[in-house]
């Protein structure tokens, strides 16, 4: 070009070259840092896998793949199979663990094709099988140790199947039932379970060793007159007080119980047809390591429960009539115009669960290993 020397052009190109070089250095450095973070997260997950294996679990899966670059980290494993010493087995075609690059302690689990679990019969527990079309969850890690502080599992369109469990041979007619869960299939629209542990385990029964929250929406159950076949909502919030026993064995549970260990049911809410209940209770183990406890329940639609107990044979003769009369006399209408409610004590002892004077359920012995 007229009036320009050729030596001027490199001077104009050099700043652009420098910018491109700096961008390349930054991208390369970030990629290296991202890979280090991904390797760290993979190491934390593999650490927990090895701890489970050391405790006797069998865990297999295909070599995982890394992804999620640049703003997140994902680890995907296929053909995942888990088998624990207590007989619990679980499998999934694909499991994806992902976390944002700035919060590696918040791991989201995704099982796009759901999962399948089985648990064999033991004591009063029947053989159980569970499937879910869609499953996922969230794990909060303690990064320095890699230990999970909380685990949340979410299941959508799940089905629980309980096998029949015959009564023990020679058991008396008035013996408690052999199983807490009647045989059958229980479709569930949504199920969420959250378990939390403190970073520092408690030293005595005044501290919480484990917190549990369960939320069930629209579970189909065997038909019960006046109550129907759908439990619209069941929510449980409970705490295990004291150091949590390492295993469900007599040797592990006995010292926990003797040291004052309890299960605090902070809230139990049930919506089943027109029956609505809110309750709280304190549970413990008696000298034979069997459950006992007491609490308080507030109920509305109690007439429906009385009818169900009458149909099931728990209330005989004129007992149901007197129970209906008692509900009519004692239930108090709510200030907002809702259904009349009644507060009653809850007791759990000698294989019986009672709400006020009504025996609403029987339960079998817990067979500790």
CB 75 within 8 A of CB 66: yes
Q: What is the pLDDT of residues 74-88, one digit of tens each?
A: 999 999 999 988 888
Spatial separation of the C-alpha atoms in residues 280 and 288, rounded to whole Å: 24
Residue ranges of domains in the chain, CATH in brackets:
24-164+179-196 (2.60.450)
CA dihedral 216, 220, 222, 225 (to 10 degrees): 90
Res. 324: pLDDT tops 90: no
Res. 191: pLDDT tops 70: yes
Q: Which residues contact 60 (CB under 8 A, 6 or more apart)?
A: 79, 80, 81
Quick one: pLDDT at residue 54? Answer: 87
Lowest pLDDT segment from 37-46, 56-65, 166-175, 259-268: 166-175
Of 301, 319, 316, 307, the C-alpha closest to 224 is: 307
Quick one: pLDDT at residue 23? Answer: 66
Average pLDDT over residues 253-272: 93
Spatial separation of the C-alpha atoms in residues 159 and 116, rounded to whole Å: 10
Average pLDDT of every residue of the chain: 82
Spatial separation of the C-alpha atoms in residues 196 and 214, rounded to whole Å: 12
pLDDT band at 2 (very low <50, low <70, confident <90, very high): low
pLDDT band at 126 (very low <50, low <70, confident <90, very high): confident
Q: Which residues of 75-111 are buried (b: 16+ CB within 10 A; e: fewer)?
A: bbbeebebbeeeeeebbbebbbbbbebeebeebbbeb
315 against 45, higher pLDDT: 45
Quick one: pLDDT at residue 321? Answer: 66
Quick one: pLDDT at residue 180? Answer: 62
Res. 201: pLDDT tops 80: yes
């Amino acid at each position: 070009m007229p009036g320009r020397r050729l030596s001027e052009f490199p001077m104009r190109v050099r700043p652009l070259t420098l910018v491109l070089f700096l961008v390349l250095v930054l991208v390369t450095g970030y990629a290296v840092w991202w890979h280090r973070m991904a390797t760290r997260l993979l190491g934390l997950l593999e650490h927990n896998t090895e701890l489970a294996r050391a405790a006797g679990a069998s865990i297999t899966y295909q070599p995982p793949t890394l992804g999620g670059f640049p703003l997140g980290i994902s680890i995907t494993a296929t053909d995942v199979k888990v088998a624990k010493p207590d007989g619990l087995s679980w499998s999934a075609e694909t499991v994806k663990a992902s976390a944002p690059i700035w919060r590696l302690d918040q791991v989201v689990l995704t099982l796009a094709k759901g999962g399948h679990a089985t648990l064999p019969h033991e004591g009063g527990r029947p053989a159980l099988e569970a499937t879910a079309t869609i499953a996922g969850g969230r794990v909060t890690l303690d990064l320095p140790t890699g230990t999970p502080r909380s685990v949340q599992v979410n299941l959508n369109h799940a089905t629980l199947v309980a096998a029949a469990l015959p009564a023990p041979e020679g058991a008396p007619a008035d013996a408690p039932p052999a199983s807490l869960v009647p045989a059958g299939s229980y479709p569930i629209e949504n199920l969420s379970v959250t378990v939390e542990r403190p970073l520092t385990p408690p030293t005595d029964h005044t501290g919480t060793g484990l917190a549990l929250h369960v939320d069930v929406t629209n579970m189909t159950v065997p038909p019960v007159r006046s109550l129907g076949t759908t439990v619209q909502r069941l929510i449980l919030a409970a705490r295990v007080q004291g150091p949590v026993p390492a295993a469900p064995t007599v040797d592990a549970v006995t010292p926990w119980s003797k040291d004052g260990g309890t299960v605090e049911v902070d809230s139990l809410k049930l919506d089943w047809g027109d029956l609505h209940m809110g309750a709280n209770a304190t549970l413990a183990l008696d000298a034979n390591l069997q459950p006992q406890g007491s609490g308080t329940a507030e109920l509305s639609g109690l007439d429906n429960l009385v009818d169900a107990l009458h149909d099931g044979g728990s209330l005989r003769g004129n007992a149901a009539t007197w129970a209906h009369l008692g509900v009519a006399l004692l239930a108090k209408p709510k200030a907002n115009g809702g259904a009349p409610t009644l507060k009653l004590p809850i007791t759990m002892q000698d294989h019986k669960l009672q709400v006020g004077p009504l025996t609403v359920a029987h339960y079998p012995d817990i067979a500790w290993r």
